[in-house]
Amino acid sequence: SAVISQKPSRDICQRGTSLTIQCQVDSQVTMMFWYRQQPGQSLTLIATANQGSEATYESGFVIDKFPISRPNLTFSTLTVSNMSPEDSSIYLCSVVGPSGRVGGELFFGEGSRLTVL
Amino acid sequence: KNEVEQSPQNLTAQEGEFITINCSYSVGISALHWLQQHPGGGIVSLFMLSSGKKKHGRLIATINIQEKHSSLHITASHPRDSAVYICAATGNQFYFGTGTSLTVIP
């Protein structure tokens, strides 16, 4: 199994500011993902965080708005830039393990609940 | 149309009742996951299935590959089971259902 520590767990931010969310995994994992869950909605994949290269973004998400870092196989950050109230969501880090294949078990962080005023 | 459909969307049950949540999918998959999300937002993986049935405590998950359908059953439900249950299918990518919000009343 994989244990994921995600922080902050929640934050209240002002419009126009940026917030960085951290995700730490207790083991090396190949596949790491960032999701957004808007109020009352299911999970939407933002991007796949790739170690040593740029993240792969899904349609509707761009690097300027959601820059992602992945310096090693156990850590990643997601920044929500120039925030607006529409960015108020839960942001979740997820990994696939231990096999690392897409069909492997899913593990999630505790989520970061972001409110933008 | 969503690749993964869940029903019901909301469910209220009395403590002790037997609960069933359904999930239908339209894509080819290598695995089907049942996830539990508590009010704080954290998500826990309950089951990963590729065939048949799995049981863990009071929770049972089944999958019918031919019918592209899975069910999550909770026996002797308890208020602490109150959460959102999410079905997720993994093929060449991940597809998530919209979740079933379960409330178990004492």
pLDDT (0 to 100) of residue A30: 82
Residue A101 in this model has a pLDDT that exceeds 60: no
CA distance A87 to B73: 35
pLDDT (0 to 100) of residue B1: 63
pLDDT (0 to 100) of residue A98: 60
- Would you place residue A103 in the very low, low, confident or very high pLDDT band (cuts 50, 70, 90)? low
How many percent of chain A have pLDDT more than 70? 93
pLDDT in tens, B58-105: 999 999 999 999 999 999 999 999 999 999 998 878 889 989 999 999
- The stretch A66-93 carries a mean pLDDT of 95
- Would you place residue A58 in the very low, low, confident or very high pLDDT band (cuts 50, 70, 90)? very high
- The stretch A32-49 carries a mean pLDDT of 90
Residues of A with a Cβ under 8 Å from any B Cβ are 9, 33, 37, 41-43, 45, 90, 92, 94, 102-113
User: Which residue from A42, A107, A109 is facing B96, i.e. has the nearest CB?
Assistant: A42
- Would you place residue B14 in the very low, low, confident or very high pLDDT band (cuts 50, 70, 90)? very high
CA distance B104 to B84: 12
How many percent of chain A have pLDDT more than 90? 71
Residue A107 in this model has a pLDDT that exceeds 80: yes
Residue B30 to residue A103, Cβ atoms within 8 A: yes
- C-beta of residue A92 within 8 angstroms of C-beta of residue B43: yes
* CA count, 13 A, side-chain hemisphere, A52: 2
- C-beta of residue A80 within 8 angstroms of C-beta of residue A19: yes
Residue B22 in this model has a pLDDT that exceeds 70: yes
Residue B86 to residue A43, Cβ atoms within 8 A: yes
Q: What is the mean pLDDT of chain B?
A: 93
- Would you place residue A116 in the very low, low, confident or very high pLDDT band (cuts 50, 70, 90)? very high
Residues of B with Cβ-Cβ distance to A102 under 8 angstroms: 30, 90-94
- The stretch A15-43 carries a mean pLDDT of 91
- C-beta of residue A51 within 8 angstroms of C-beta of residue A72: yes
